[in-house]
Amino acid sequence: MKKWQDVEQLQDLIDDLVHFNQALALLADRLSLDLAVLEADHIALRCQQVSTAERWRSGFLQCGTLLSEKIINARPIALFELPLPLDVQGKDIYVIELPWPGEKRYRHDGWEHVEFVLRGEAESLGQRAMALFSDTGLIQPGISFKTSAPRGECERLPNPTLGVTDGEVTIKFHPWSLKEILASEG
């Protein structure tokens, strides 16, 4: 199986991963968030065109395993597992989330967020995630927070998510890994 960096359909993502890593480091620094102590789960892409999503899907099929392809929040989302990880701020990340374009528009096509697992009760996820940030990090200009609860049709585990963004990249937290969510579907 090819390395993802050797797949023609994914070449635009190589330089974008460098940019994403730099922007992620800046956001974590602004929040006084120590990424080294967190359990990395997956990294996600965003794109504006269906043709881009289809090109990336074709590319990831050449270098990874399709774990799942479902409609979640009214749009298709494909999950891939790579045999060799992406390096995201020193974390090995094997799982890629590829959603098709939805109604929301993003600044660019490419890497958009990274998700970390915060083990514990789903109900207390928001409190546990917020406790990771410094007080000064929480009041930084341009920083915003969002909660959501994405859910696939057969998922049995609650999967609340807390995201923090500076408008360029997003860091998200949830109580389960995507592979645990998939396994819960029976």
E strand or H helix at 127? helix 125-130
- Looking at residue 152, what is its pLDDT? 55
Domain housing 161 = 4-183
Mean pLDDT of the chain, nearest integer:
92
Gyration radius from the chain CA atoms = 16
| Confidence band, pLDDT 50/70/90 cuts, at residue 150 | low
Mean pLDDT on 1-8: 93
Q: Are 117 and 175 in contact (CB under 8 A)?
A: yes
Residue pair 147/81 in contact (Cβ under 8 Å)? The answer is no
**105 has a pLDDT exceeding 80:** no
How far apart CA 179 and CA 176 sit, in angstroms, is 8
More confident residue, 151 or 21: 21
Q: d(Cα 134, Cα 119) in Å, to the nearest integer?
A: 20
pLDDT at 33 over 90: yes
CATH code of the domain containing 106: 3.10.180.10
Rounded to an integer, what distance in angstroms lies between the CA atom of residue 1 and that of residue 76? 25
Average pLDDT over residues 11-16: 95
Q: What are the C-alpha distances in Å from 164 to residues 60, 114, 156?
A: 27, 10, 25
CA distance 46 to 112: 6
Amino acid at 31: L
Q: pLDDT band at residue 148, thresholds of 50, 70 and 90?
A: confident
CB 186 within 8 A of CB 156: yes
Is residue 155 scored above 60 in pLDDT? Answer: no
pLDDT band at 95 (very low <50, low <70, confident <90, very high): very high
Whether 59 and 136 have beta carbons less than 8 Å apart is answered as no
**pLDDT digit string (tens) for 36-70?**
999 999 999 999 999 999 999 999 999 999 999 99
Neighbours of 108 (CB within 10 A): 12
**What token pair was written down for 71?**
């409609």
With 90 as the cut, is the pLDDT of residue 12 above it? yes
Q: Which of 14-28, 91-105, 136-150 has the lowest mean pLDDT?
A: 136-150
The count of domains in the chain is 1
Average pLDDT in the 79-85 region?
97
Calpha distance 30→9 (Å, rounded) = 34
pLDDT band at 149 (very low <50, low <70, confident <90, very high): confident
Nearest to 135 by CA among 48, 31, 61, 35: 31
C-alpha 116/C-alpha 129 separation (Å) is 10
